[in-house]
């Protein structure tokens, strides 16, 4: 640990009052030129947060704060009250570029102080908000705040562009994708986006990719795993991936119901782009990709993904003993680097299936994705129902350990 870091990480402290936190604030004050503060894995009450805020706002050298898992067991009303002290204090820190607020059950109840802060903190470069139970409405407010932040950065000519946004496991769903698309379109210097496990369906994926990320020329890492693509999402990805080709390092679209046809679309796009000089990781596991798609991916591996170090294909629809698996492993061996993941959970297609059966399977893929869409619809477009659902989830999460 750096001598410029103050950490209470994972000490399971329960700090309710100013007196409870006073000894720790005293230690913080003793660190000259502190650059990082890690308070994760503890629980802070309102009074303790107020005392902490007074100390933090004087630390003008701070570059990074980790407030993950900071409100375990707190009531729903306590969390926004704590943020109303802490976040304004952070606004006074001119070089605070990285903020982690993950695992805090912020939900809809705490999104207003958060979005107000995000729209104003122009030094922000890296934002981590995973597992906060936002839902579409709160998620859209966060995204809109980041869109406003882009304008604020431009007005003050901030030297810090927003480069990283991690907002996985937040039930963002299709209902917030218009706002997220606008957010990423506004923040053109974005390098890393992780929106995994958010219940985003193919229409939302299409909007996010074609409207939000189509001009993200500096994108290096994109993780959209555990959402739903189908062929619609694959076509959208094929359309925009050429724009990222020069800088892309990691692409994660595992467990996204890409489908056999979607695998072919993506594989062909990887070939057609012609170059991915920096691509090191490609995650395509559990996507119902069949041998036809894998053959195209293998061709791309040979011709365009010549620096790939990790290819994940487990859980797709071809045999682990298929000749293409040997070809992939031989390519990596010949290069002296790179590996294919363990194909221990494959859904093998019969080699002698006729063309009609293949078409029938593809129709079944479409039917499954349509059934998934119907199952997930519910109250997404009913704002009152969504607010009630977000409040209920946030209330439960706020009183349970995360």
**Token pair listed for 253:** 């679209």
**164-219: per-residue pLDDT in tens?**
999 999 999 999 999 999 999 999 999 999 999 999 999 999 999 999 999 999 99
Q: What pLDDT, on a 0 to 100 scale, did the predictor assign at position 347?
A: 84
Give the rounded percent of residues in the chain with a pLDDT score beyond 90: 84
In a domain, 255, yes or no: no
Local confidence band at 357 (pLDDT 50, 70, 90 cut-offs): very low
pLDDT of residue 89: 98
Question: What torsion do the CA atoms of 374, 379, 382, 385 make, to the nearest 10 degrees?
Answer: 170
Percent residues over pLDDT 70 in the chain: 86
- Taking 80 as the threshold, does the pLDDT of residue 381 lie above it? no
Instruction: Give a yes or no: residue 328 inside a domain.
Output: no
Per-residue pLDDT at 32: 93
Instruction: Evaluate whether residue 286 is within a structural domain.
Output: no
Number of Cβ within 10 Å of residue 253's Cβ equals 25
pLDDT at 395 > cutoff 50? no
One-letter-per-residue 3-state SS of the chain: CCCCEEECCCCCCEECCHHHHHHHHHHHHCCCCCCEEECCCCEECHHHHHHHHHHHCCCCCCCEEECCCCECCCCCCHHHHHHHHHHHHHCCCCCCCEEECCCCCCCCCCHHHHHHHHHHCCCCCEEECCCCCCHHHHHHHHHHHHHHHHHHHHHHCCCCCCCEEECCCCCCCHHHHHHHHHHHHHCCCCCEEECCCCCCCHHHHHHHHHHHCCCCCCCCEEECCCCCCHHHHHHHHHHHHHHHCCCCCEEECCCCCCCHHHHHHHHHHHHHHCCCCCCCEEECCCCCCEHHHHHHHHHHHHHCCCCCCEEECCCCECCCCCHHHHHHHHHHHHHCCCEECCCCCCCCCCCCCCHHHHHHHHHHHHHHHHHHHHHHHCCCCCHHHHHHHHHHHHHHHHCCCC
Give per-residue pLDDT as tens, 220-263: 999 999 999 999 999 999 999 999 999 999 999 999 999 999 99
- 325 in a domain, yes or no? no
How many structural domains is the chain composed of?
1
Tell me, yes or no, whether 269 lies in a domain: no
pLDDT band at 351, cuts 50/70/90? Answer: very low
pLDDT reported for residue 3 = 85
Closest CA to 141 of 168, 102, 114, 167: 114
Confidence of residue 76 (pLDDT cuts 50, 70, 90): confident
| Residues 389, 250: Cα–Cα separation, whole Å | 34
As a whole number of angstroms, the distance between CA 182 and CA 211 comes to 8
Q: Which residue has the higher pLDDT, 300 or 389?
A: 300
Could you give the angle at the alpha carbon of 64 between the alpha carbons of 62 and 69, nearest 5°?
130
Q: Give 350's contacts (C-beta < 8 A, 6+ positions apart).
A: none
**CA distances (Å), 246 to each of 178, 249, 304, 367, in order?**
27, 9, 11, 36
Considering only 122-131, 152-161, 279-288, 393-402, which range has the smallest mean pLDDT? 393-402
For range 43-67, the mean pLDDT = 98
- Domain coverage including residue 377: 5-244+351-398
- Residue 402 reports pLDDT greater than 50: no
Any domain includes 265: no
Query: Is the pLDDT higher at 108 or at 368?
Result: 108
Q: Are 264 and 295 in contact (CB under 8 A)?
A: no
Whether residue 87 lies inside any domain: the answer is yes
Segment among 24-38, 119-133, 376-390 with least mean pLDDT? 376-390
Residue 11 pLDDT > 90 = yes
Domain at 34, CATH number = 3.80.10.10
> Any bridge partners for residue 14, and if so which?
43
Mean pLDDT, all residues of the chain? 90
**pLDDT, average across residues 295-324:** 97
Q: Does 191 reside within a domain? A: yes
Q: Which pLDDT value is given to residue 371?
A: 52
Rounded mean pLDDT, 72-79 = 92
Is residue 362 very low, low, confident or very high in pLDDT (cuts 50, 70, 90)?
very low
Average pLDDT for 335-339? 98
Whole-structure pTM over 0.85, yes or no? yes
**Residue 331 CA to chain centroid, in angstroms?**
31
């Amino acid at each position: 640990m750096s001598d410029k870091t103050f950490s209470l990480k994972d000490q399971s402290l329960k700090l309710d009052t100013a007196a409870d936190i006073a000894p720790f604030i005293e230690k913080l004050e003793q660190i000259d030129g502190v650059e990082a503060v890690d308070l994760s894995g503890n629980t802070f009450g309102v009074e303790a947060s107020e005392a902490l805020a007074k100390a933090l706002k004087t630390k003008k050298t701070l570059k990074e704060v980790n407030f993950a898992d900071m409100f375990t067991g707190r009531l729903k009303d306590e969390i926004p009250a704590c943020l109303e002290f802490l976040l304004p204090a952070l606004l006074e820190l001119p070089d605070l570029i990285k903020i982690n607020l993950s695992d805090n059950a912020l939900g809809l109840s705490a999104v207003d102080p958060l979005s107000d802060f995000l729209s104003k903190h122009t030094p922000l470069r890296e934002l981590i908000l995973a597992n906060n139970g936002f839902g579409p409405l709160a998620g859209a407010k966060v995204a809109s705040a980041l869109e406003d932040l882009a304008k604020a950065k431009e007005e003050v000519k901030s030297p810090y562009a927003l480069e990283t946004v991690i907002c996985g496991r937040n039930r963002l769903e299709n209902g917030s994708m218009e706002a997220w698309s606008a957010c990423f379109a506004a923040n053109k210097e974005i390098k890393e986006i992780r929106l995994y496990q958010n219940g985003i369906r193919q229409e939302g994926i299409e909007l996010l990719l074609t409207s939000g990320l189509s001009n993200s020329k500096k994108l290096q890492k994109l993780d959209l795993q555990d959402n739903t693509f189908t062929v619609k999402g694959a076509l959208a990805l094929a359309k925009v991936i050429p724009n990222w080709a020069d800088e892309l390092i990691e692409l994660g679209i595992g467990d996204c119901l890409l489908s056999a046809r979607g695998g072919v679309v993506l594989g062909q796009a990887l070939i057609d782009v012609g170059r991915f000089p920096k691509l090191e990781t490609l995650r395509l596991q559990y996507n119902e990709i069949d041998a036809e798609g894998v053959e195209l991916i293998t061709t791309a591996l040979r011709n365009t993904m010549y620096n790939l170090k990790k290819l994940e294909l487990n859980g797709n629809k071809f045999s682990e003993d298929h000749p293409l698996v040997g070809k992939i492993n031989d390519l990596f061996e010949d290069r002296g680097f790179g590996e294919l993941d363990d194909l221990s959970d494959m859904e093998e297609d019969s080699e002698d299936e006729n063309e009609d059966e293949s078409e029938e399977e593809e129709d079944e893929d479409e039917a499954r994705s349509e059934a998934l869409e119907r199952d997930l619809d519910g109250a997404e477009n009913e704002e009152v129902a969504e607010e009630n659902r977000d409040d209920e989830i946030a209330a439960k999460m706020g009183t349970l350990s995360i």
